[in-house]
Amino acid sequence: MAGGTVERLYFGRDDAEHDFADGLLREGFLVTKAFEEVSAGHKNLVIGRKGTGKSAICMQQAANDGTCLITPDDAAGEELRRFELQGLTGASAKSLIWRYVFAVQAARHLVSHARAGHRRRFSKPIRALRRFLQKNGELTDVSFHDRILHGGQGLQASLSLEAFGVKAGFEHKNGSSEGARASKQLEVLEAGVARGFRSLGCAGHDPLLVLVDQLEQVWSSDRESDDLVIGLLLASKRVTQAYAGAMRCVLFVRSDIYDALRFDDADKFHSDELRLDWTPEKLGEVALLRARASLGRPLTRDELWGKVFPARVRGEPADAYLFSRTLPRPRDAIQLLNLCRDAAHARGADRITEADVLGATLPFSQWKLLDLAKEYLVTAPFLDRLFVLFQNTGYVVMRSAVATRLKPFAEALHSQFPNYRDVLTADGVVEVLYRVGFLGVLRETGVSYAGSRELPLQPQENEFHIHPCFRPALGVDRPTAVLPFQGEPQMNRIAIGSANTGVVAQIVSGDLRISPSFSFRLLDLLVSTCQRLLRTLARTPLPAGAHSQLTDQLSELVAQTVALRDRPGAEDSVAHVSKAATYLDGLARQLAESGLGSPRDDGIVRALRGAANTLHRAIGGDYHPA
């Protein structure tokens, strides 16, 4: 492998804008079906989570001629949210100001295109558009905020439409409302723009493409913000009709924003919708393309995952290990790959080792847990408060366990987030955590995480798994929080009669000498008890990981007990059995608290409690479970 590979290796920046400026996005861009659908004009509404590549597609499209990119900022968003017209709903009013923006963009494009592309004297329609732009302060470059301000003032009062043969002030008859007058003005402007397209014969060209991205910058999860986005959707639909296909709009919208919208015409956008989904295989293609681009040389898949990266990590193919521990989106994959590269580079190495990959997973997981809370700060401001419910537990989570864990915090959460009381229930929390990708649900085909092709949660679904991306940050690496058999016996959990008080004192101090026959019988009882528990466990339906965990721990307890029983002079048998009894009771309690069983059922939880009671009685105490 050529020297300096790790030093030159780089997978890109966190945002598409800087990635494109650096050139890596252009050279390492993966042409997907989604990109082709947008390019062909089949889809005009690109929906996806943060980091799924919406802006990457947008930037690639914006690099072509005949495109216009709109990215609203806070100032423009405030103007848009405030804009109202008497006689119209909020969404309808905001659709008019978006239509004005699109018409002005088209008019500016036509004037520029006529000068540069057609090289002839302006036709009458183009001259009219130029006069309109000049009269309304739109001929020179202005900020998007100023364009919204100009348009809002013009629609609320009167645009200068003399260029289209309409006298100043615009005639308003029959006491028409502010909204009706604004609509009439826009119809005049759009008709003038349509004539401009026809006059240049631009219907035969590729249509003017208007791209609108980064709406999350101006959205605040309130009615006005929803109206802003709904108005944009309505305006984008109008563009195709108004300009006979000479212009189209492509909108890039975050899925949490789009899915929160409620409006009557939502069903008219389904054919335009394109949801971004990523598979591990596609993320692997992104990684390979970017590795080639940064190294400036051909690189095969086997070289990337075998020479640059290790072939396997903890027994899994390295690419499968990495991409199963990210949310399915390019940004996460890029960040984790860069962390692995940075770890190797810090050592001065020229290849990435398994240790580098393992070392990168914890800081990456910590990043992603923080990022998840920030991503949904507007729609779920309580999200970071919920993570404590899952720290240092198992990654298998039952619906009933969420209710148990949530109960001590419910009052404080309701007080801090009163507007979300209906959501901050056990079922509501599970729904939110599934929707944001923190939890997956166990189904017949395996664990499913939320995506555009996944069914919503069903009431009867009870078993959930924390996504592997977040497990290291939470200290969760096993299916359940079952601890191995170890530690000192907790004799305070045995209620001993007065006749046995001295015996217990001698057990704890180690002064008591147990007869070999009693010691053997006691240890033999523990072995047979554990064997019965293993048979009960085999009949008990538990998550696969939890089942194997319990089986391993009980089998280990049997092995330790047999070894002790077969050792001559095993004087610590009582302490061992007491410790085992307390351990079995702890297992029962952990399983019940995890929602994997109930203290009152006939399965493994009840069997564990019964076994603990039997063993405590055998060493001379009456057992009273806490």
Q: Please spell the DSSP secondary structure of 550-573, one letter per residue.
A: HHHHHHHHHHHHHHHHTSTT-TTH
Residue 65: the pLDDT is 82
How far is the first Cα of the chain from the last one, in angstroms, to the nearest whole number?
63
Sign (positive or negative) of CA dihedral 113, 119, 125, 130: positive
Q: For residue 326, what pLDDT is reported?
A: 96
Dist. CA 168–CA 137, nearest whole Å: 16
pLDDT at 569: 58
pLDDT given at position 573: 82
> What pLDDT does 540 receive?
81
Instruction: Answer yes or no: are the C-beta atoms of 469 and 332 closer than 8 Å.
Output: yes
Residue 48 confidence (pLDDT): 94
Where do runs of H (alpha helix) occur along 83-222?
A: 90-113, 124-135, 144-156, 178-200
How is the chain split into domains, by residue range? Answer: 5-20+280-375, 54-275, 383-474, 491-623
Backbone angles phi, psi at 443, to 5 degrees: -130, 180
pTM check: above 0.75: yes
- What radius of gyration, in Å, describes the C-alpha atoms of the chain? 33
343: which 2 tokens?
Answer: 């770890």
Predicted local confidence at residue 500, as pLDDT? 38
- pLDDT value at residue 176: 75
Angle at 85 between CA 257 and CA 180, to 5 degrees: 115
> What's the angle, vertex CA 557, arms to CA 552 and CA 560, rounded to 5?
120
For 567-604, how does the pLDDT look when each residue is reduced to its tens digit (9 = 90+)?
765 557 888 888 888 889 888 888 887 777 654 455 88
Instruction: Give the H/E segment covering residue 251.
Output: strand 247-254
* Cα 335 versus chain centre, distance: 15
List Cβ neighbours of 448 (8 Å cut-off, separation of 6 or more). 440, 441, 454, 455
HEC sequence for 258-321: HHHCCCHHHHHHHHHEEECCCCHHHHHHHHHHHHHHHHCCCCCHHHHECCCECCEECCEEHHHH
- pLDDT computed for residue 435 by the predictor: 93
Judged on CB neighbours under 10 Å (0-12, 13-18, 19+), 453 is exposed
Hey, which residues does 465 pair with through a beta bridge?
396, 440
The vertex-543 CA angle with 538 and 545, nearest 5°, equals: 90
Secondary structure letter of residue 137 according to DSSP: T
pLDDT of residue 154: 87
Cα gap 277→64, rounded to integer Å = 25
Distance CA 327, CA 88 (A): 42
pLDDT at 488: 41
pLDDT at 626: 45
Distance CA 96, CA 111 (A): 23
Gap between the Cα atoms of 155 and 97, Å rounded: 8
* CA distances for 9 relative to 17, 24, 294, 309, 347, angstroms: 20, 12, 6, 11, 15
User: Residue 559 has what pLDDT?
Assistant: 86
* Alpha-helical segments (H) within 468-515: 471-474, 501-509
Residues in the chain with pLDDT values less than 70:
1-3, 117-121, 168-175, 202-204, 452, 486-516, 544, 568-571, 597-602, 621-626
Q: DSSP of 384-450, one letter per residue?
A: HHHGGGGTTS-SEEEHHHHHHHHHHHHHHHHHH-GGGTTTSSHHHHHHHHHHTTSEEEEETTEEE--
